[in-house]
């Protein structure tokens, strides 16, 4: 294995710039820095992502890495990027728009490298701990800003309650993932009677939930968090525990509903926005999504096999907006649905590649263990939030997917290879 090479005495005698162990540690540090900066900054993520690529290059064993690209979990993200590149050939959009539309898919190229690296690294869990710590600090800042909005780093015209940086959708995505992902170690610690650690994680998880209930939460999170909890219950709890937790959840949800005006206001916008859109053609959030989805389905029907090409979405919406008013006149380059975003540009071919990638990444995490659980939750969250947004292509949620799936996937592959090695050795001896 690559880890043995990195820690060999011969490697230790090399100058630091030629030492694989030093480069491996450097790559791990940059992965941790990406996790730390992701809740706070897009610029730092880009910088540390580029640095991570540079640190990975000296570690690559081409004879081992190239065959790994044949694994579908690696080849499908590459295929989606390649489709974006080749899709420029039949697009009618200006070349600037075509090249710009390739950009959101480039981060998928990091997945094979992350699989390769963290299949050999022992520091994968440190990346997830760094992300949890960073999100916890952001949650503390969210409470502070909720009481003193002047401390927010957002421009005054964009300040919203409890948002220190970025926006409430990104923040809810982070807090929801952390809260649900902590369920696995909490149950593990309770079963092994490590009560203090379980209590600490319960306090952190509940802090995320309470923040979303009383400060700010996205409607997407309100839909997807129950689904993620249901997946956890089905995989890791017996029916008695499910019933108990369901009752507790109902009680907590009822208390939160009665005591949180913010939660009632957020859920109330579902029906209100729909009525304003239907009755007055006002471009509300839900109304615009319905408008975008209807038009995108029509665009897809016009070119169902290969789509209209990379970067074509905005031009199609501009043409459809001519002569319309209100919500029907809105123009956008993102239909706020991952499937439709892909379908409009690359047709059925793109949909097949996207869904195959999701499916195989789900199957990668079907085993036991914390890494498998984290990876599973990252994929499940991305799939269901992508019903309302294009979260593979969005910067923040796309990086959450790449980093979470890449690191957890490498850890799972490492565990699988270790389990397979004794079996192969026994079969040879027999």
Q: 318 with 331: CB under 8 angstroms?
A: yes
Q: Count CB atoms within 10 A of the CB of residue 238.
A: 8
Structure-token match 């540390």, residue found? 48
Q: What is the pTM of this model?
A: 0.85
At 119, phi and psi to the nearest 5? Answer: -75, -15
Provide the residue-wise pLDDT of the chain in tens; the chain has 430 residues.
444 444 445 444 455 556 778 888 899 999 999 999 999 999 999 999 999 999 988 878 888 889 989 999 999 999 999 999 999 999 999 999 999 999 999 999 999 999 999 998 889 999 999 999 999 999 999 999 888 888 888 776 556 778 888 888 889 899 999 999 998 899 889 889 899 999 999 999 999 988 888 887 777 887 788 888 888 777 766 666 666 666 666 666 666 556 656 655 666 665 666 566 655 666 666 777 888 888 899 999 999 999 999 999 988 988 887 777 666 677 788 888 999 999 999 999 999 999 999 999 999 998 888 999 999 999 999 999 998 888 899 999 999 999 999 999 999 999 877 766 555 444 444 3
Q: 213 with 255: CB under 8 angstroms?
A: no
d(CA 248, CA 338) in angstroms, rounded, equals 34
Report pLDDT for 350. 95
DSSP track, 179-202? HHHTHHHHHHHHHTT-HHHHHHHH
Report pLDDT for 424. 46
d(CA 421, CA 18) in angstroms, rounded, equals 30
Give the list of residues 6+ apart from residue 345 with CB closer than 8 angstroms, or none: 84, 87, 91, 101, 307, 308, 309, 310, 311, 312, 313
Q: 411 with 118: CB under 8 angstroms?
A: yes
Side-chain half-sphere exposure of 125, counting CA atoms within 13 A: 9
d(CA 121, CA 25) in angstroms, rounded, equals 9
Angle between helices 395-429 and 168-181 (to 10 degrees): 30
Report how far apart, in Å, the C-alpha atoms of 58 and of each of 20, 365, 387 are. 7, 29, 39
Closest among 112, 9, 7 to 62, alpha carbons compared: 112
d(CA 26, CA 419) in angstroms, rounded, equals 28
Burial of 244 (0-12, 13-18, 19+ CB in 10 A): exposed
d(CA 16, CA 10) in angstroms, rounded, equals 12
Closest among 361, 268, 287, 378 to 80, alpha carbons compared: 361
Report pLDDT for 290. 81
Closest among 271, 258, 179, 265 to 218, alpha carbons compared: 265
d(CA 27, CA 42) in angstroms, rounded, equals 19
d(CA 190, CA 134) in angstroms, rounded, equals 25
Burial of 158 (0-12, 13-18, 19+ CB in 10 A): exposed
Report how far apart, in Å, the C-alpha atoms of 37 and of each of 45, 54, 130, 155 are. 6, 18, 9, 20
Report pLDDT for 319. 87
Closest among 354, 340, 382 to 227, alpha carbons compared: 382
């Amino acid at each position: 294995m690559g880890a043995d090479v990195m820690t060999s005495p011969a490697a230790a005698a090399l100058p630091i710039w030629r030492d694989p162990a030093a480069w491996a540690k450097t790559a791990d540090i940059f992965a941790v820095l990406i996790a730390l900066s992701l809740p706070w900054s897009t610029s730092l993520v880009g910088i540390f992502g580029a640095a991570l690529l540079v640190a990975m290059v000296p570690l690559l064993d081409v004879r081992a890495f190239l065959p790994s690209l044949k694994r579908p979990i690696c080849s499908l993200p590459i295929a989606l990027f390649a489709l974006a590149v080749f899709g420029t050939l039949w697009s009618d959009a200006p070349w600037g728009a075509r090249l710009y539309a390739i950009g959101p898919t480039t981060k998928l190229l990091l997945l094979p490298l992350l699989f390769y690296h963290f299949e050999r690294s022992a520091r994968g869990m440190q990346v997830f701990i760094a992300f949890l710590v960073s999100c916890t600090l952001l949650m503390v800042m969210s409470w502070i800003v909720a009481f003193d909005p002047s401390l927010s780093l957002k421009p005054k015209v964009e300040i919203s309650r409890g948002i220190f940086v970025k926006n409430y959708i990104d923040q809810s995505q982070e807090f929801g993932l952390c809260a649900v992902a902590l369920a696995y170690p909490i149950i593990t610690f309770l079963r092994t009677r490590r009560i203090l650690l379980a209590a600490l994680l319960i306090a952190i998880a509940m802090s995320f939930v309470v923040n979303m209930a009383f400060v700010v939460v996205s409607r997407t999170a309100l839909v997807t968090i129950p689904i993620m909890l249901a997946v956890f219950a089905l995989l890791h709890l017996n029916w008695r525990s499910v019933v108990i937790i369901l009752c507790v959840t109902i009680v907590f949800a009822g208390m939160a509903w009665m005591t949180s005006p913010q939660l009632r206001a957020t859920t109330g916008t579902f029906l209100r926005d729909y009525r304003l859109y239907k009755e007055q053609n006002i471009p509300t959030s839900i109304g615009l999504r319905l408008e975008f989805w209807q038009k995108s389905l029509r665009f897809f029907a016009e070119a169902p096999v290969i789509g209209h090409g990379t970067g074509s979405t905005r031009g199609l919406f501009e043409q459809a907006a001519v002569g319309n008013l209100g919500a029907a006149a809105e123009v956008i380059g993102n239909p706020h649905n991952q499937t439709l975003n892909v379908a409009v540009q690359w047709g059925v071919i793109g949909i097949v590649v996207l869904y195959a990638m999701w499916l195989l990444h789900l199957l990668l995490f079907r085993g036991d263990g914390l890494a498998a659980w984290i990876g599973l939750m990252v994929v499940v969250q991305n799939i269901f939030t992508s019903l309302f947004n294009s979260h593979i292509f969005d910067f923040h949620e796309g990086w959450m997917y790449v980093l979470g799936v890449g690191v957890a996937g490498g850890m799972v592959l490492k565990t699988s290879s270790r389990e397979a090695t004794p079996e192969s050795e026994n079969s040879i001896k027999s």
